[in-house]
Amino acid sequence: MQRSPGDVPSVIGVIGESRFSDAAHEALAEGVGRRIAAAGCALICGGLGGVMEAACRGARAEGGMTIGILPGSDRQEANPFVDVAVATGMGQARNAIIVLTADALIAIGGGYGTLSEIGFALRHGKPVIGLRTWDATRAGEHVPIVVVQTPEEAVGEALRLAATTPVPRA
């Protein structure tokens, strides 16, 4: 019953707004969740509503595993499609845990918390794929977010980059 290292499935993070700023984001998030599960990967997110809930619902519909890293100290805060709810009691600092645990992250829409997760992910060398999410520039250079248009592309890029990025695990 011991796993060999090769058995460990990838974990894909889904980050994004907890209240939809655009109705189209719900279908995108659900589609991303479905494709993560269909690829045999686990989904990790912040465990709450909006993009997080839609993505978990999609993954659950395909029989996937969903992990929610909650800001509060009560596991019951998780959306009903989270399989493994982790209560951190750390508030927004829990965003760092989502990023460290994921092999790649898909950002959908998003508020300022999502921007902090993108910063963390890039800081730790984790690939970030963007669907209608933030762009950020400094001194004329853009952050290396891989911009895509569809859930299929998002998950395809996440899997490709998770497999090939030599992650400098801080």
Q: Residue 16 CB, nearest distance to its own copies (Å)? A: 11
Backbone φ and ψ for 136, nearest 5 degrees, come out as -140, 140
Quote the tokens at residue 143.
Answer: 């952050």
- Per CB under 8 A, which of residues 104..163 are in contact with its own copies? 109-120, 122-124, 132-139, 143
Tell me: does residue 164 bind its own copies (CB under 8 A).
Answer: no
Quote the tokens at residue 39.
Answer: 């690829």
Burial label, 170 (beta-carbon count in 10 A; 0-12, 13-18, 19+): exposed
Tell me which of 39, 100, 146, 147 binds its own copies, using CB under 8 A. Answer: 100
Q: 19-25 long-range contacts, Cβ below 8 Å, gap at least 24?
A: 19/49, 19/50, 20/50, 20/51, 20/109, 21/109, 21/111, 22/109, 22/132, 24/132, 25/50, 25/51, 25/54, 25/108, 25/109, 25/132
Tell me: does residue 8 bind its own copies (CB under 8 A).
Answer: yes
Tell me: does residue 30 bind its own copies (CB under 8 A).
Answer: no
Q: Residue 156 CB, nearest distance to its own copies (Å)? A: 22
Measured from the CB atom, is 39 or 143 closer to its own copies?
Answer: 143
Tell me which of 39, 90, 146, 147 binds its own copies, using CB under 8 A. Answer: 90
- Residue 43's DSSP bridge partners are 12, 66
Tell me which of 41, 45, 55, 88 binds its own copies, using CB under 8 A. Answer: 88
Site size toward its own copies, by CB under 8 A: 62
Q: Which residues bind its own copies (CB under 8 A)?
A: 1-3, 5, 8, 11, 21-22, 42, 57, 60-61, 65, 67, 69, 73-76, 80-81, 84-93, 95-97, 100-101, 109-120, 122-124, 132-139, 143, 169-170
